[in-house]
Amino acid sequence: MTYHEFHDQVYCEEMRRRKGLPNGSIQWKGTDVCIDLNCRCGADFHFDGDFLYFVQCPYCKEIFAVGTVVDLIPLTPEQLAFIQEDRPNLIKTPEKCPWD
């Protein structure tokens, strides 16, 4: 298997499954992450460090590729009003994609 085939099977498939759902894709740059993880064996664990591309559950020992998809969670009108009032500086509006 080539890396291109691996990437398509793991990461591109992840994006295809989310098509039409609000989401984003992280472009890992090898930077620091602090993340709580949940394994399908039911275990919860935490990672704090650099370069988290693959992770092994410390309980069942299964190894996973770390995905790139981030859910975009719709806010209710009440939640939106709260954020706009309480934390307006946290709302980011990125530039539109040049290919749109």
Residue-wise pLDDT for 40-51, tens only, equals 999 999 999 998
Residue-wise pLDDT for 3-41, tens only, equals 788 777 887 777 777 788 887 778 877 788 899 999 999
Whole-structure pTM over 0.85, yes or no? no
Separation in Å, CA 7 to CA 32, 50, 68, 92: 22, 20, 11, 29
Looking at residue 81, its amino acid is A
Query: Which residue in 11, 13, 7 sits closest to 26, CA to CA?
Result: 11
Q: 25, 68 in Cβ contact below 8 A?
A: yes
Residue-wise pLDDT for 37-95, tens only, equals 999 999 999 999 998 999 999 999 999 999 888 888 898 999 999 999 998 998 989 88
DSSP class of 68? -
- The predicted pLDDT at position 26 comes to 82
